[in-house]
Structure 1
Amino acid sequence: MTTIFDPLRLGDLALANRIVMAPLTRNRSPNAVPGDLAVTYYSQRATAGLIVTEATAISHQGQGYADVPGLYGADQLAGWKRVTDAVHAAGGKIAVQLWHVGRISHNTLQPGGGKPVAPSAIRAKSKTYLVKPDGIGEFVETSEPRALDAAELPGIVEDFRRAAKAAIEEAGFDGVEIHGANGYLIDQFLRSGTNHRNDNYGGSIENRARLLFEVVDAVTGAVGAGKTGIRLSPVTPANDASDTDPQPLFNHVVAGLGNRDLAYLHIVEGATGGARDFSQGDKPFDYADLKAAYRNAGGQGAWLVNNGYDKELAEKAVADGYADLVAFGKLFIANPDLVSRLKRNAELNDPDKATFYGGNSRGYTDYPTAA
C-alpha cells in the first residue's frame, strides 16, 4: 500500500516522499529580497518531498503585499539562490510559486503609484498587507483596479516566461508552480465574478481560460513541462473570488492541461484555509470528477491535494489512489521537522497565528524540532 512516506517521480524531479510544503506568504523579504531568515526557514524544512515557496512576484506590477519576494531583479534572484543552495545542501527539492496578484494590491505597491490591474475594473472586497512608516504591518483595503487592455496581456505572459526561466537558470530552483488560484490574476480571468470582459479573454469559458493556457505554454516552453506545476482553487472565495458554475469551468481547464505534460496539478479543495466542503454554485464541487476530466484528457501529471489535511486524511488519500501527494501549510509553519513527526506520530507544535505575517525570527525560524 502506497504511503505518504514513499518516494515519487514528479515530472523531472525525484522526490523522497509525498509530503509537500505548501506555499505560505510570510512577509519577511524587505525590498522583495529573501534574506538570511529565508535561508534558515526553508532549509529547516528541506525534508519535505518538495517545498513550494511562498508566492513570488513575477514583476513589480505583480506585487500585492509588502515585503513579499520577487523574481524580477538581480538582487532578488541572488537572494533566492542562497535559499535554493541551502535547501539542496540539506537534501531537499524546492519549486518557486510564480505570482501576479492582479487586483489584490494597493496603489502604494504599484509602479509609479498606479492602479492595480485586473481583467475588469471591479474592486475586490479584500485586504492586503502594508508596512507603516513605523515598521508595523497592517491590513488595509485593496485599491481600485483598472481593466487590462488586451494589448498588455502578451507582456504579462512574457513576465511569467522570463521569471520562470530566471528561477531555474539563475536562482537554482528545481521547478516552478504557476499560481492560478486564490483570486489572483489568472484566477480573476477564469471566474465569472471577476471577469466581465467582452473580448477574446472574457465571456465564454474558453475565452476566460485563454490567459491561463497562454501562461502555461510560455512557462513550459521556457523551462520544460516536467519542471512545471500549477495551482488551482475551483471554489475558494479567497480574495472575493466567485463563479456561478465552477465545475464545467475547471473541468475545461484541467482537460486543457491534460495534453501539456505538466509535472503536477495542485488542487485547493474547498475554501482556502477554511472549510473543505465549501462550494459555489448550485451543488457541491466534485473533485473526483475534476481529476477524471484531467486523466480522460490524457493528463499524467501527479495530483497534489491541499487544504485541511492531517496525517490520517493524507494517508487515506494516497492509499486510496485519490491523490499522489498532499500539501501541508500551517503544520509546516510550526513544525520544521514535520515529515519526521508524522512518521513517528510525534506531538505537533501549534502555530502562532500572531506571527504569520511580517516580523522577525519569532514564529518563523524558532519553532523547535522534536527530540
Structure 2
Amino acid sequence: MEFWKLFVTALMPVLKVLFLTAVGTILALDRFGILKKDARMHLNTMVFFVFIPALALSNLAEAITFKSLVMLWFMPLNILLTFIIGSALGWLLIKITRAPRHLHGLVLGCCSAGNLGNMPLIIVPAVCKERSRPFGDKDACNRNGLAYASLSMANSKANDVDDSPMNLVSLPETGQENTSTCPVGPLVSAENVSQANDFASGLEIEIARPDGVAKSLQVTKQAKVRKLLKKSAEKINLKALLTPATIGSIIGLIIGAIPQLQKILVGENAPLHVIEDSISMLGDAAIPAMTLLVGANLLNGLKGSSMQFPIIIGIIIVRYLALPAFGVGILKGAIHIGLIHHDPLYKFLLLLQYALPPAVSISTITQLFGAGVGECSVVMLATYVCASASLTLWSTFFMWLVL
C-alpha cells in the first residue's frame, strides 16, 4: 500500500482523538462548567466501575476463543517490556537532567506507563473503518481489534496496580525527614525477637528431649509456618489486584474460552443474547467518556508550572523516539524467533503499545496525593499535543512494516 494512503489512514483516528479531547477541554472551561471537578470525579467512577469492565467483557467474549487466547500469550510480556524499558530510560533521564527528587516518581511513571486504556480502543477500530481497509474485512478487523485492545487494557490495569502509590509521585522535599515515605525504625522488632527466641528455645528442647517430643514440636513448628503463610495471604490486597477491568476481562475470557457459554450468550441466535447486547451498549460509552476526561484533565496544563523544560523534552524523546524504536527491534526479534503468529493487526497493536502517550492514571494519582499536580498537567499537555504528530507518523510506519 502506498505510503500516502497509509498516512491518511493513520491520521484519521488521531484526528478523532483530538476532536473528542478538545470537546472535553471545552466542557471543562469555567464558562461552560459542565465537566467540573465533581463531574469529572463521578464520570471517572462510572468509567472505572461500569463502562470499562463492560467493554472488556463484551469484546473478549465475542472475539476470543481458547485457541486465539493461546496465540496471544506474547501481549502481556510485551506490555511488561514497555514498562521495564520505559523505567530504565526514565531513570537515565533523571540522571541526565538531575530532576528534583520529588519529581522522580512522576518522570518514571510518564516514561514507563503508556495510555494502554482508551488509545488503542479508539485508534484500532478507526483504522479498521477506513476505506483503504489495511487489515482486511471491516467487521472482522473491528471485532479482533477491539478484542486485542481490550486484552491490552486489562493487562495494563493489572500492571498499574501498586499498593504504594507514593512510588509514583514522591512528596516534595522539605527541610525535614519524611517518615511517612521513608520509615525509620529498629531493624528487628520486639515481636520478631520474641519469635526468634521461641524458635531457638524450641530447637534446644528438641535436641534435649526424646524423639516423640521432638516430633510433637515439629508439628507445632509446621502450625506456626501455616499461620505465618495465612497472615501473609491476608496482607495481599486482592481488591487492588482484581480491578473492575480485570474482573470484566476474566469473565469475558471465560465466556470466550468455553464454546457452550459463548453459544448461549454471544450472537444473534444465542438464547441469552440480550444480556451480552446490554453489556455491549454500556461498553460503547467507555471510549467517548474516557477521551472527554483526558481533554478535561489537560486543562490544568494550560495554567503552567515550574516544570523544567529539559525534563519535558526528555520525556517526549523517551516516549516518542526511544520506546517505539525499541518496540520495532523487539517485534522483529520475536518474529524471527517465532514467538508471534502472523496477524498484521496483532503485530500493529504490539508496536502501537510502545508509541502511546503517558497513562492518564498518572494525573489521577498526582491529584489524589496533591504532589506534582501542576508539573504533571504540563507534562500531559505537552506529550498529548506531540502525540498528534507522533502517533500519526509511527502508525503509518507500523502499518507499512506489518502489511
Instruction: Identify whether the pair has TM-score above 0.5, normalized to the shorter chain.
Output: no
TM-score range, shorter chain: under 0.3
TM-score, normalising length from structure 1?
0.24
Work out which structure has the larger RCO, using CA pairs closer than 8 Å and 6 or more positions apart in sequence: 2
Structure with a larger share of its residues in helix:
2
TM-score, normalising length from structure 2?
0.23
- Which one has the largest radius of gyration? 2
Structure with a larger share of its residues in strand:
1
